[in-house]
Structure 1
Amino acid sequence: DAVIARHSNMHYGGTYEYPHGLAQVYRACDLVWSQDLWQAGTNSDWLLPNRIYEASYFGCPSVAVRHTVTGQRIEAAGLGFTVEAPTPDALTALLSGLKRADIQARAVGLLRQPDTDFRLTLGELETALAPLFSGGRSGSGEMSPAAANTGESLGA
């Protein structure tokens, strides 16, 4: 709170409850910075953060760095906008060039996409988790975690 209080251009609105508070958070935003920069040059260049799916689900366009997998996904699927580099100048240029109509058009486009573009269906979850509950081998021939926890061997 003290750090934010020193910045007149920042506002702290309090905590939110995950996942129930996501709709309120994203609907209050024009754009969301979706780029992870913690491990730039390695993991951050190829990961796909949950926030691009969360924000898109609620119609909030994302911003990311073009040369990363996150940026490529945003461009390919029309999820938002990209910058050439993660610099204040690049971000300022993007934001200065955007018109409210551009942002609103992208938001409407996101809301028109099937929600299953941004979340897993029950069937997809069941398929993904089936090897964990198979009680033996997973599709790769390795012991499933469920079997490993019971001490079951792979056998012949």
Structure 2
Amino acid sequence: MLRAGGARVTLAGFRRTTGPVTEIEGLRPIDLGATRDGRFGQRLAAVAKAAVSIGSKLATMPRPDLIIARNLEMLALARRAKAVFQGSVPIVYECLDIHRLVLRDDLLGKALRGAERYLARDVKLLVTSSPAFIANYFKPFGQIAAPVELVENKYFDAAPVVADGRLKAENPAAPPWRIGWFGALRCRRSLQLLADFTRRLDGRFEVILRGRPALSEFPDFHAFVEAEPYLSFRGPYRNPEDMAAIYSEVHFSWAIDFFEEGQNSEWLLPNRLYEGCRFGAVPISMGNTETGRFLNQQDIGVLLPQAAPEVLETALGRMEEDRFRKLKARVLARNPRTWSYDRSDCRAFVDKLRGLAAAPGPFVTEALA
């Protein structure tokens, strides 16, 4: 969105790979080191090490007009980067998840919230992706005084978003009805629920999984899926190149996540919600979440009152062609801009950032991701 909106971007951040990442979307990133998923202590050590070396790593780049820090640890490094550039470079804080550690009521949770308030004391803008993050965390805890910009996890369409007649094409023949669970696969409870449900329906429903499983959460993921007769994992995919194709293979999209139940998972509006609806898949969600409330306002999707195989069977088990066509038609009837951003949205976002920086001419951002 930054580049499509006219900004020149320098990207710096950590990686999860063993070796350096040489290219991301045509950019050569500044490597701040490696972090490990779920290893809080290791990540703190990596941030401390990067804070020492960030001056030399940024030494050859020109002073940016703005720094965007994409999470709390990057906010700490953004302040170090600002000091390196020896000027009043504005900082934007982007927070797309509320980590369970900052919600704890013990010394660690209070310390992390205090650190966030301190580091964000003079940020110019808070960017977040769900109204529930503001209502359930930032406001009640008094974390950020800056204005808020809501940038949802919408699909990015380079061209202006218009109704796409191809989405009205026929779905795969059913039964079996196919549910697609795509993206960050990190919820063991969802996996077990889908396995139990498909066995209960004896193959009338199948589940296709794509993306990157969080093996730190279920190291037995591959063995579990292989042992299930109606689940299949088809590996990672490219976004946006593969999106239309992978959603054309399914009837429904799984928009449920219990990874941080009662907290972040209940508040977020995930990428798969927008991507699935953009390509005509009927979303399945829990009714008592922010995603469920959003779908209820749109009057689309299948909303579950409880997470149990028998509840899924009641909601979906008697699915027929006529009912599915009506469910899909309601998704397709919504304004496509509900699900997608285009270049005009990108320009508007960059213009807002340019106003914060008061930067004439070419606008240069450094994104700490």
Pairwise same-fold verdict (TM > 0.5) = yes
- The question of 1:69 aligning with 2:290 is answered yes
Deviations 1:54-92 (CA, angstroms, capped at 9, x unpaired): 111111010111111101111221331100012222222
Q: Are the aligned partners of 1:131 and 1:137 in contact in 2 as well (CA < 8 Å)?
A: no
Q: Aligned partners of 2:262 and 2:289: how far apart in 1?
A: 9
Partner of 2:357: 136
Partner of 2:48: none
TM-score where L is the length of structure 2: 0.35
1:67-146 matched pairs, under 5 angstroms = 67-134=288-355, 136=357, 146=365
Name the one with the larger helix percent.
Answer: 1
- The question of 1:22 aligning with 2:243 is answered yes
Output the aligned Cα RMSD: 2.3
Q: Aligned partners of 1:22 and 1:108: how far apart in 2?
A: 20
Unaligned runs of 5+ in 2: 1-221
Q: Aligned partners of 1:102 and 1:84: how far apart in 2?
A: 20
Partner of 2:272: 51
Q: Aligned partners of 2:224 and 2:283: how far apart in 1?
A: 25
Q: Which has the higher contact order (CA 8 A, sep 6+)?
A: 2
Deviations 1:126-147 (CA, angstroms, capped at 9, x unpaired): 2222233347269xxxxxx94x
Deviations 1:21-68 (CA, angstroms, capped at 9, x unpaired): 111111111111102211111111121111111111111010111111
Partner of 1:153: none
Q: Closer, same or farther in 2 for the Cα pair 1:47/1:134, shift >3 Å?
A: same
Corresponding letter in the other structure for 2:284: V
Q: Aligned partners of 1:5 and 1:94: how far apart in 2?
A: 26
Q: Please report how far the alpha carbon of residue 97 of structure 1 lies from its aligned counterpart in structure 2 after TM superposition.
A: 4.0
Taking only the aligned residue pairs, the percentage that are identical comes to: 21
Q: Are the aligned partners of 1:33 and 1:63 in contact in 2 as well (CA < 8 Å)?
A: yes
Q: Aligned partners of 2:291 and 2:227: how far apart in 1?
A: 31
Number of matched pairs:
141
Partner of 2:209: none
Q: Aligned partners of 1:135 and 1:70: how far apart in 2?
A: 31
Q: Aligned partners of 1:45 and 1:15: how far apart in 2?
A: 25
Q: Secondary structure at the match of 1:82?
A: strand
Q: Closer, same or farther in 2 for the Cα pair 1:102/1:127, shift >3 Å?
A: same
Name the one with the larger strand percent.
Answer: 2
